[in-house]
Structure 1
Amino acid sequence: MNIAALLTSAGINITVCVVLFSLYSILRKQPSNFNVYFGRRLATLSSKNVDLSLERFVPSPTWVMKAWNTTQEELLTIGGLDVVVFNRILIFSIRVFSVSAIICTILVLPVNYYGRNTIHKDIPFESLEVFTIENVMEGSRWLWSHCLALYIITITACTLLYFEYKNITTLRLVHITGLPPKPSQFTILVRGIPWSADESYCEAVKKFFTYYHASTYLSHQIVYESGAVQKLKDDAEYACKVLGDGLEQSCKPTMMQCYFCGGTNNFKIIANEMDSIHSRTSYSDVHMVPRKKLQECAAAFVFFKTRYATLMAARNLQASNPMLWVTDQAPEPRDVYWSNLCIPYKQLWIRKIFTWVASTTFVLVFLIPVTFTQGMTQLEKLEKMFPFLTDIVKKSFMAQLVTGYLPSVILVVFLMGVPPVMMLLSAIEGPISRSGRKKSACCKVLYFVIWNVFFVNVFAGSVISQLSVFTSITELPAQLAKAVPAQATFFTTYVLSSGWAALGFEIMQPFALFCNWFQRLVLCSREDSYNGFLRFPYHTEVPRVLLFGFLGFTCSILAPLILPFLLFYFFLAYIVYRNQILNVYITKYDGGGQFWPLAHNTIIFSLLVAQVIALGVFGQKRSTIASGFTIPLLIGTVLFNEYCRQRFLPVFKNDATQVLIDMDTRDKNCGRLEEIYDQLHSAYCQFKNSSTLAERFSYPDKERIQRLQSSENLETGKNNIQQAISWSHR
């Protein structure tokens, strides 16, 4: 591939982006599309302003400025810590690849271009291999520039990683200590409750925790097996029963008396009746009043009096048989994945094996389309496979289009089916939280794309040859050193197709827009329904950003031309995703920043792979000095990663005893414990948290903003932040 083919691909993607962004800036102003492009705002605001001026039909960059000026505190309030972590990944990528682009443009690119004493063509007709390290002669004394650039990039990345990890750890501590107290801090999930013919699961839980946790046990709530239809039926029966009891007491004995009595008094009597029911029933039996007909599961939420007691119960082994009375820290109420709680605990290891086998099989099957797309980058192989294309590909423009644009587009189309499949496999695996399911899917997608987009494309060929590459680990650096520079041009076009164009489609939301138009034009409905119930797609966007970072690190000194295209993608993604978070995506639950350790590990892996490839290249080029200096860099990167694992990672795995006891003491002194206890059962009500249509959009953005703006909570929040910062430095 030459520069002209690369510019053809870039031109096509730039045109697509300009058209899509211009359409978006017009369509977002139309009142009929508000439910597509302002779903989050419509979910929290009661009214919308309609501007009927001519400006509605003219593209404008005002949304860019609004997204740019949004602060991190606003993102934290709107989307939670996971959104902030994703934003910090983009900021880290912008910073590190800005440094990489400057260093490689000054040091590496001239050395690559003038690496051999050859006559160069005009720039548009130059082969892209001229700009890679392949063009440097063996034994060249200029290879020290590549080694120096690798040192600067690695030190910059590790320094930025350290400060990002430190800041995000502080934010997580603030997330834990934030107001109001989170129900999950007082709740554990118990699974594997032993079955007994003499007593129900509810009685078994109460008996066990009353005996073994007598001083700290508060109450519990059993988990039931019930489908959506059964839930609605039971709710209707219970509502009729309560209304009937209230009417019988307020107006006896005829219905005529009911007509003349006031409706307000009836509701007061119903409320009094409910109060009397709660007063006659203990904490652990409240949930049994309306739900006696439901089938109990071998799982329950158990509530404790303090956070510290909850932590100890969640961490410790409860029985001599590890498969019984299994305890975990409970997710947040809106984060609970209710359909998986009734899965028998003994089945989980079988499900994990099944998902691992299914994921591996899917990866191997995907070798076929990847190998096919890789063959399209080479005209000779393409003409042999499809002889009827010989006359077509001889044309200059068609050759540039086929080799520079189509392969990456076809691969992107095939990869579109990967995230849904991985999300399904992650759900089958049995996670207890929705954030856990999304994180598991994110890991699977990340491993999939790194393997198929990078390694399989690097070692493209028959399936047997792809698998035989790794028969000898000692030959791996040499194999990578030969293959990666040759495929750097394909990775560049992949960034254009999967990055730039994907951002245009992301901001346009074509599927939601089509559904909205179909509803209004075909079904003739004028209601502002929320299309898609959009949540932020972490399982697709986090792997994409980390994959591009992986490609940037591995190709930085080998083929520096990829860096400007990557840098432009990260800048564009920074604006687009901030806009989507502000206007489109609705946050229902927050995973507490658990994506950052995954991002950190991926970046470290990227650095190590880049260093291993550089070591192989320096060995091939017979540069002993450069090879010798690369080995200490490898060791230093591993040691840095180990330090971060020891210093920061435990905060993301477990809550600190010191933090929890301080919070318990503060709540006790403020007299808020009784209020917290009263809210636990309602927070983990299984049928209230079941996703009805209206409840999906009840995320209390207004309440959170008002709570943050109140003076008392602001003062307490400042104290929490100061405590969290002090804890993070200990």
Structure 2
Amino acid sequence: MAAALWARQDDGGGKSGTDELLNLLANPYGGTLSTNSFFASLGTSLGATAVIALLFCFLRPYNNVVYAPRAKHADSKHAPPPVSKGIFGWIPPLMRTTEQDLVDKVGLDAAIFMRFTRMCRNMFVVLSIVGCGVLIPVYLLSANEYTPQRKRQDNYSTGQGVSFFYKLTPQNMYFSKSFWALVVVAYVFDIVVCYFLYHNYVAVLRLRRAYLDSPEYQRSLHARTLLLTDIPNDYRTDDGIVRLTDEIRATDSVPRAAIARNVKELPELVEEHEDAVRKLEKYLAKYLKNPDKLPAQRPMCKASSKDKTYSKGQKVDAIEYLTARIKNLEIEIKQVRETIDKRNALSYGFASYDQISEAHGAAYVARKKGPQGSIVRLAPRPNDLVWKNLKMAKKDRNWQNFINNLWVAVLTLFWTAPNVFIAVFLANLANLGKVWPAFNQSLLDHPKWWAVVQGVAAPAVTNIFYYYLPAIFRRLCISSGDVTKTSRERHVMHKLYTFFVVNNLIIFSIFAALWGFVVNVINANKDKNEGVWEAITHGKFFLSVITTLCQISPYWIGWLLQRNLGAAVDISQVVNLAWGSISRKWFSPTPRELIELSAPQPFDYAGYYNYFCYYATVALAFATIQPLVLPVVLFYFFLDSWLKKYLLLYVFITKYESGGMFWRTIFNRMLVAAFLGNVVVALVVVAFGSVGINWAMLAALGPLPFLLAAFKWYCARKFDDQIHYYQKGNAIKDREEHAGSEHKTRKSDRVGVRFGHPVLYKPLMTPMVSAKSQHLLKQIYSGRTSVEDSRTVGGYSDVYLDAMDSNAPGKASGKNPAPFELVDENQMDFEHYKNRPEFRDEAGGDGELYGRAADLIRPGTPSTIMTGVTRTGTMESYDRSRSTSRHDRNRSDDSDSTRVAPVGGTDYPRGYHQTPHMREQSPAGSDFGDGFAGRGRPGLGHAPSREGLVGGAARMGMSPPPKMPGGYGNLRSENTTPGEESTSYDYFRRGRGL
């Protein structure tokens, strides 16, 4: 049927529509628009880049919220260099900022990213000189060796009057001995790539060792803590973790251990609570957009599918329903928090040593095979953990990885069809004109206009799809079991790079060659009655592939030119600038959304690393068949080596610091790029070289892949262990040198608290409402006063104090008729809320942008009982005697749900099992630090706290121990002493003589 329809579209010359389509698929990149398209891409790219850059220079001094949020919010240590108000005032600070300044102010990840960018810039300077200085003269001079007799004999024409770019390719060097130049250049390219990689590997090692020796890392808890997963059932206790670390036999030290407890549905409940709060805020923002004129109809929404009190899909009043839903969720969260320790132990836990060398030595010894089938690794920062994946078994991870790889393969195949359409028709609009007569006439009438469209359309459409890929791959990596967010980002970068290279480079570039080869085989079989094998052997497959790559090379030059425009768009922040204005004018953003909009945005390391490696791969793959790609990609890296430096210093934050662990991933990608370049050289030699010379050239190229593999192995053996581990092997000697500081470091060991699941202690969100709508809140909630009592507001489970009337002491002012946090218009800025957990965790730059990280240790300072973090970000002093002898530790015979280590386990604060206060505005939280400070003035978020004034006071007489917030407590023992309270971890952890 399809053939019949195409046959009707005969062009009068005997060629049917089917034949025309087959010819287009076989050779889609020919035509006369290539040169014009290049100049169109060059003009639009350079012109638009210059305009956007100048626009940035003029707007920057007057919009620090968009162009310098880090300078506004960072503390003195992490603040970037000051910038003058001049148009080009941002350039001198970039020139003066050194690599060490980057490490101190924005972190090691950002410093290594900039080092990689500079490495690519310097590397392509050398490659451009070699490639353009050697290959272009060889191609232009060797083309004359091709005689007309050979043209007629092989039925191959170089095509007089072809595009200038095609003359810079090896397709005019058929049977030339000058192909030895390509072999030599392939070796030179690999040597240059390996030299820069090795030189920067040494620099990364130096930076990493300085990072491991830095005071911040030395004083952090995670630096000397191990994460153990896949723990067997018999070892799922605090003491069981200690016994597992004993089997590693890397040190005689006994760590403090904490086994994880099952939080069951608590993470889902907290997530649903946050979603309900955000929905309520959104409905209220729309409903109260104009306080002087409310809409006639109250907003409606569908009841949650998890809410069994309503039928599925039932429409309800959004404000009333979400308020009640939040109340019920808070009650349920409180109940679950109170009963956490009645659940079973999980398959993961943490073990913290006195010295960093002990933890790293144990991790190094157990890096390949952990004791009893467990997996032992260095613990990341607590906020870097993906908590729901820690309990996933190894076999489940393997299965999920297989499923995810299958999905990636399906996605790759799915994108093949639109990719082919772009390659055939958008990359060369002349092909579209051949099957669309009306468009062909327009193409002939306006060739320059359509040349511009061709130079812009195909790359633009190609990039739109890839905008959404990172989010897709992040979901896949989370479902596959990544235990940290930094490892997830590395895996996302790996999947993005694989997808780009396979789909957008290989399939896009050689599909037409493969299809043309199939067409030639079919035609030979039909016209000459040849067999399939004879047709295949005469089809000149490699010649078709290389000819197609030479013809598509101008497209990749134009595509790389458009990347310069992308770099300018990045620094202009035009998307954020436009979205901020559009959202305020046309939408109804909530106070929370406005606060988050003013916060520094995280830098997408996975996306940018992928693009940089991909650009380098395209350049190295096409360098020998189109040398002009080298200076084009050089210009991009030269531009971005300055622009990205500004973005990292003044605009973006590193949300999750990995300590430079991206390097090995990008190192491997660069070696893959060099290998693909060698493959292309081999294909050129086979396709165009003479028969007598082919085998000698291929033999000369043969060692290159093995040399690259040997270089990778050498670098891995020489550098990787030193980069990853502070110390390798036995740490007994190091422990003896630091024996005098053992007591001091143990005073602040509270592994179970600092590595506790955040849903156990993180305060719940309070709905935010603009203060201009305050007078309408009583009217909105007038029908719900029956559920309120003297201690609750709006039926919420938290205890609130009514605001006192300044004119009538002791009387409520009545300013807060609903359970909301009122936010003034002039306070809807991140600066007022950057110390609040709900905002700091998302835009705090791993906690270091505004001070110290949460797991830094400074014994002897007051702290909150909840997390051990003081107002200055340091850790609480806490000491408890325990036995450290291997032979004196007791083993628990309780079930998984109750067993603990009476001696040798982790110390927890008294009453740690009690449910924490769920809102930081709760007055009961005023005794527990900043996270639970009094309300103060609504909206400020950093009201003064009377932190820990009586938190350490002794209780009177026989009064019961105080109830304090915590996490994994409420365990009972068979050895309970009569008359002694057994509801705190301290009961089980203190020595029997106390």
Output the TM-score relative to the length of structure 1.
0.76
Please name the residue that 1:279 is paired with.
Answer: none
Query: What percent identity do the matched residue pairs reach?
Result: 19
Of residues 376, 382, 385 in structure 2, which corresponds to 1:336?
A: 385
Please name the residue that 2:199 is paired with.
Answer: 163
Please name the residue that 1:361 is paired with.
Answer: 410
Structure 1 distance, partners of 2:223, 2:93, is 36
- Counterpart residue identity of residue 510, structure 1: V
Q: Retained in 1: the 8 A contact 2:350–2:751?
A: no
Asked if 1:638 corresponds to 2:709, the answer is yes
- Structure 1 SS opposite 2:838: coil
- Structure 2 SS opposite 1:588: coil
Asked if 1:460 corresponds to 2:487, the answer is no
Please name the residue that 1:570 is paired with.
Answer: 637
Please name the residue that 2:189 is paired with.
Answer: 153
Asked if 1:185 corresponds to 2:223, the answer is yes
Please name the residue that 2:166 is paired with.
Answer: 129
Distance 1:391 1:69, change over 3 A: farther
- Structure 1 SS opposite 2:215: coil
Please name the residue that 1:423 is paired with.
Answer: 474
Q: Shift in Å at residue 584 of structure 1? A: 1.3
Q: Shift in Å at residue 450 of structure 1? A: 0.9
- Counterpart residue identity of residue 329, structure 1: L
Structure 1 distance, partners of 2:569, 2:356, is 45
Please name the residue that 1:535 is paired with.
Answer: 602
Please name the residue that 2:310 is paired with.
Answer: none
Q: Retained in 1: the 8 A contact 2:261–2:341?
A: no
Please name the residue that 1:512 is paired with.
Answer: 576
Structure 2 distance, partners of 1:631, 1:455, is 22
**1:71-92 C-alpha deviation (Å, 9 max, x unpaired):** 1111112332222222122112
- Structure 2 SS opposite 1:220: strand
Structure 2 distance, partners of 1:599, 1:308, is 28
Please name the residue that 1:113 is paired with.
Answer: 140
Structure 2 distance, partners of 1:591, 1:608, is 28
Q: Shift in Å at residue 443 of structure 1? A: 0.5
Structure 2 distance, partners of 1:71, 1:308, is 30
Structure 1 distance, partners of 2:41, 2:634, is 17
Distance 1:426 1:663, change over 3 A: farther
Asked if 1:580 corresponds to 2:618, the answer is no
Q: Retained in 1: the 8 A contact 2:120–2:637?
A: yes
Structure 2 distance, partners of 1:479, 1:397, is 30
Of residues 486, 492, 496 in structure 1, which corresponds to 2:551?
A: 486
Please name the residue that 1:273 is paired with.
Answer: none
Distance 1:476 1:227, change over 3 A: farther
Q: Shift in Å at residue 509 of structure 1? A: 2.6
Structure 2 distance, partners of 1:479, 1:608, is 21
Q: Shift in Å at residue 131 of structure 1? A: 1.5
Distance 1:210 1:578, change over 3 A: closer
- Structure 1 SS opposite 2:237: helix
Q: Retained in 1: the 8 A contact 2:128–2:627?
A: yes
Please name the residue that 2:565 is paired with.
Answer: 501
Q: Shift in Å at residue 439 of structure 1? A: 0.6
Distance 1:229 1:634, change over 3 A: closer
Of residues 441, 445, 454 in structure 2, which corresponds to 1:391?
A: 441
Structure 2 distance, partners of 1:572, 1:360, is 34
Please name the residue that 1:40 is paired with.
Answer: 70
Q: Shift in Å at residue 116 of structure 1? A: 2.8
**1:215-260 C-alpha deviation (Å, 9 max, x unpaired):** 5132315255223755999xxxxxxxxxxxxxxxxxxxxxxxxxxx
Q: Shift in Å at residue 327 of structure 1? A: 3.5
Matches within 5 A, 1:257-272: none
Q: Retained in 2: the 8 A contact 1:35–1:528?
A: no
Structure 1 distance, partners of 2:597, 2:208, is 31
Q: Retained in 1: the 8 A contact 2:354–2:745?
A: no
Structure 1 distance, partners of 2:164, 2:48, is 26
- Structure 1 SS opposite 2:644: helix
Structure 1 distance, partners of 2:231, 2:432, is 61
Of residues 102, 111, 116 in structure 2, which corresponds to 1:89?
A: 116
Distance 1:383 1:315, change over 3 A: same
Structure 1 window deviating more from structure 2 (634-643 vs 459-468): it is 459-468
Q: Shift in Å at residue 658 of structure 1? A: 5.5
- Structure 1 SS opposite 2:226: strand
Matches within 5 A, 1:287-436: 292=341, 297-307=346-356, 309-310=358-359, 311-312=361-362, 315=367, 320=372, 322=373, 325-343=374-392, 346-375=395-424, 376-394=426-444, 395-436=446-487
Please name the residue that 1:239 is paired with.
Answer: none
Please name the residue that 2:267 is paired with.
Answer: 227
Structure 2 distance, partners of 1:173, 1:478, is 50
Distance 1:2 1:115, change over 3 A: farther
Output the TM-score relative to the length of structure 2.
0.57
Q: Shift in Å at residue 205 of structure 1? A: 1.3
Distance 1:485 1:453, change over 3 A: same
Distance 1:528 1:348, change over 3 A: closer
Aligned length: 628
- Structure 1 SS opposite 2:348: strand
- Structure 2 SS opposite 1:567: helix
Q: Retained in 2: the 8 A contact 1:548–1:566?
A: yes
Please name the residue that 1:9 is paired with.
Answer: 41
Structure 2 distance, partners of 1:519, 1:377, is 36
**1:612-638 C-alpha deviation (Å, 9 max, x unpaired):** 221221233326265454334444333
Distance 1:223 1:374, change over 3 A: farther
Q: Shift in Å at residue 24 of structure 1? A: 1.9
Please name the residue that 1:243 is paired with.
Answer: none
Q: Retained in 1: the 8 A contact 2:367–2:377?
A: yes
Structure 2 residues without counterparts, runs of 5 or longer: 1-32, 149-157, 247-252, 274-336, 521-532, 764-836, 857-994
Q: Retained in 2: the 8 A contact 1:183–1:333?
A: no
- Counterpart residue identity of residue 74, structure 2: T
Structure 2 distance, partners of 1:178, 1:356, is 39
Q: Shift in Å at residue 365 of structure 1? A: 0.7
Please name the residue that 1:443 is paired with.
Answer: 494
Distance 1:628 1:340, change over 3 A: closer
- Structure 2 SS opposite 1:593: coil
Please name the residue that 1:251 is paired with.
Answer: none
Structure 2 distance, partners of 1:364, 1:663, is 55
Of residues 90, 101, 104 in structure 2, which corresponds to 1:74?
A: 101
Q: Retained in 1: the 8 A contact 2:682–2:698?
A: yes
- Counterpart residue identity of residue 578, structure 1: K
Structure 1 window deviating more from structure 2 (477-486 vs 64-73): it is 477-486
Distance 1:96 1:34, change over 3 A: same
Structure 2 distance, partners of 1:703, 1:439, is 26
Please name the residue that 1:272 is paired with.
Answer: none
Structure 2 distance, partners of 1:206, 1:309, is 18
- Higher relative CO (Cα under 8 Å, sequence separation at least 6) belongs to 1
**1:407-431 C-alpha deviation (Å, 9 max, x unpaired):** 1111111221211111111121121
- Structure 1 SS opposite 2:625: coil
Distance 1:378 1:686, change over 3 A: same
Structure 1 window deviating more from structure 2 (69-78 vs 575-584): it is 69-78
- Counterpart residue identity of residue 13, structure 1: S
Structure 2 distance, partners of 1:665, 1:579, is 46
Distance 1:466 1:666, change over 3 A: farther
Q: Shift in Å at residue 317 of structure 1? A: 5.0
Q: Shift in Å at residue 401 of structure 1? A: 2.1
Distance 1:212 1:639, change over 3 A: closer
Structure 1 window deviating more from structure 2 (408-417 vs 183-192): it is 183-192
Structure 1 distance, partners of 2:483, 2:453, is 46
Q: Shift in Å at residue 316 of structure 1? A: 7.2
